[in-house]
Amino acid sequence: MSTQTELEIVTPGAFASIQDEGRRGFRRIGVPWAGALDRRLMRIANALAGRPEDAPVIECFDGGLHVVAHGGAVKLAVAGDAVVEVDGPEGRRQLAPWRSVTIAAGEALRIRKMGSGRIAMVAVAGLEVAPVMGSASTYVRAGLGGADGSGRALAAGMRLALAEADAWGSDRVLTQPPEPDPRPIRLVPGPQADHFSAAALEALVGGDYRVTAEADRMGVRLEGAKLEHSGAADIVSDATVPGSIQVPGAGQPIVLLADAQTAGGYPKIATVIGADLGRLAALRPGQTLRFATVTAAEGAQLARAEEAETRALITAIRPLPADGIDLLALYTGNLVDGVVHALDTEFRPLY
């Protein structure tokens, strides 16, 4: 009789949860989308693990996730600028992110910390989660989705049962992952820009804003130049979407994210474009950002460009050799610089 393969959550880190593309089609009845804060990372992680791009993943923050395989081997893939370690019979070894790895029963994978950004996505081969209202995404506030359908975030001691996988093939790697994007976060003014003074939008795009400690999957409170209302700081509640920038009476903006409410009574000065929302969600408390305005048409064009970039990244994923060592990445990584050819009288570096 075969043994059930499981992945145990030893520690979930700061906050780990099951997410996918989100719960679409229910905002009209007050149900947020939820879903992965950075869909590009989710898609890359799944592609590295040989899974459909919209399959459920483990989304985690700032390191601390520690998982162990039980009952059989488990293939995992990590997307994000993470410091990854694997504990096995030969001790602990560090593993590059942006690749998959197959760990044997009893072996563990840890995400020690993050470099740039604070979000990592971990795809797990064989992870099947029953959808609730069409999605496996965890929405804690309403108790929807997640590993057992109750809306709970992942917690120490939980075990995720994994389906028996087909032939996995070799592990995969993305040798040239996306670089951190230093550009301003782009936004489209409105829909209630007329509720603010003429100087408010100029202030929003004219200086730095700092991410406060009040930042989670629901939204990010920012601190910077005060945005003056032209009248009352409240409106009759109307629809919001991820990316909406609400401004309460204190004049400090709040950017809504995936778990945000579907309606609100604060006027919205602008909306962050979808192509940049993942970048904003990945900022840590204390980091600063700047905004820049674009038109709605430019925002749509940027969305198409981001999709093309994502497709190119996924297409660039390739199998690792059987020994798991990516020689091409080593040879092209310029590990030693300043090397010169003995016969090159001009002493030009070879790399």
**pLDDT digit string, tens, across residues 30-56:** 999 999 999 999 999 999 999 999 999
| Sign of the dihedral through C-alpha 195, 197, 199, 204 | negative
Each residue of 105-138: b (16+ CB within 10 Å) or e?
Answer: eebbbbbeebeebbbbbbbbbbbebeebbebbbb
Question: 341 lies in a domain?
Answer: no
Checking if the pLDDT of 266 tops 90, the result is yes
> Which of 188, 166, 215, 175 has its CA nearest to residue 273?
188
257 near 219, Cβ under 8 Å?
yes
Can you give the residue range of the structural domain that contains 61? 6-173
Q: Mean pLDDT of all residues in the chain? A: 90
Domain boundary residue, one of 124, 151, 173: 173
Checking if the pLDDT of 331 tops 50, the result is no
Is pTM, for the whole model, over 0.85? yes
281 near 38, Cβ under 8 Å?
yes
pLDDT band at 350 (very low <50, low <70, confident <90, very high): very low
Question: 167 lies in a domain?
Answer: yes
Question: 95 lies in a domain?
Answer: yes
Question: 331 lies in a domain?
Answer: no
pLDDT band at 334 (very low <50, low <70, confident <90, very high): very low
Are residue 104 and residue 168 in the same domain, yes or no?
A: yes
Q: Give the integer Cα–Cα distance in Å for 118 and 38.
A: 11
CATH number, domain with residue 204: 2.40.100.10
Question: 316 lies in a domain?
Answer: no
Are residue 219 and residue 294 in the same domain, yes or no?
A: yes
Number of structural domains (the chain) is 2
Are residue 127 and residue 23 in the same domain, yes or no?
A: yes
Checking if the pLDDT of 16 tops 90, the result is yes
Are residue 141 and residue 201 in the same domain, yes or no?
A: no
Encode pLDDT of 276-293 as tens digits.
999 999 999 999 999 999
Q: Give the integer Cα–Cα distance in Å for 302 and 310.
A: 12
Question: 345 lies in a domain?
Answer: no
pLDDT band at 169 (very low <50, low <70, confident <90, very high): confident
Question: 342 lies in a domain?
Answer: no
Question: 49 lies in a domain?
Answer: yes
> Which of 248, 255, 256 has its CA nearest to residue 227?
248
Domain boundary residue, one of 173, 203, 218: 173
Checking if the pLDDT of 230 tops 70, the result is yes
pLDDT band at 344 (very low <50, low <70, confident <90, very high): very low
Q: What is the CA angle 332-337-343, rounded to 5?
A: 100
Checking if the pLDDT of 351 tops 80, the result is no
Are residue 192 and residue 154 in the same domain, yes or no?
A: no
Are residue 50 and residue 73 in the same domain, yes or no?
A: yes
Are residue 32 and residue 115 in the same domain, yes or no?
A: yes
Are residue 229 and residue 92 in the same domain, yes or no?
A: no
Are residue 200 and residue 255 in the same domain, yes or no?
A: yes
Are residue 57 and residue 157 in the same domain, yes or no?
A: yes
Q: What is the CA angle 298-304-306, rounded to 5?
A: 100
Q: Give the integer Cα–Cα distance in Å for 281 and 336.
A: 35
Are residue 160 and residue 197 in the same domain, yes or no?
A: no
227 near 245, Cβ under 8 Å?
no
Are residue 169 and residue 189 in the same domain, yes or no?
A: no
Q: Which residues contact 92 (CB under 8 A, 6 or more apart)?
A: 85, 86
